[in-house]
Structure 1
Amino acid sequence: MLGWALTFLIVALIAAALGFGGVAGTAAMIAKVLFVVFLIALVVSLVMHFARRA
């Protein structure tokens, strides 16, 4: 999932450099959402890991 976030971030950067504002904004928004989802999944995974060890 982090790979998808990085992919959309790169697409957003390229689109912004080429002047495609709408595409860049959309790709950046998707990258942000996927990054937040990844962080939430990471925190949940860590909590479950430490809860099972205890």
Structure 2
Amino acid sequence: MYKWAFIFAIIALISAILGFGGVSEVFADIAIIAFVLAIMATVFFAFLGWKAGKNVADKL
């Protein structure tokens, strides 16, 4: 997900430099959404890993 956010941000930057304002806004919005989703997924899976580790540690 972070890779896609970075790619969309680079495409937005290049299109803005070339003068395609509308296209760059769309790609920037997609990059922001992908980045936020990636952060949410990271936090969610970190929480799941913490819970699973805690359950395993309790059984030992």
TM-score, with normalisation over the residues of structure 2? Answer: 0.88
Separation of aligned partners in 1, 2:4 and 2:50: 27
After superposing on structure 2, the runs of 4+ consecutive aligned residues of structure 1 that deviate more than 2 Å are none
Identity over aligned pairs, percent: 41
Kindly provide the amino acid, as one letter, of the partner of residue 41 in structure 2. A
Aligned residues: 54
TM-score, with normalisation over the residues of structure 1? Answer: 0.97
User: Which structure's CA Rg is the greater one?
Assistant: 2
User: Post-superposition shift, 1:43?
Assistant: 0.1
* 1:26 is the counterpart of 2:26: yes
Please, which runs of 5 or more residues in structure 2 have no aligned partner?
55-60
Q: What is the aligned-residue RMSD (CA, Å)?
A: 0.4
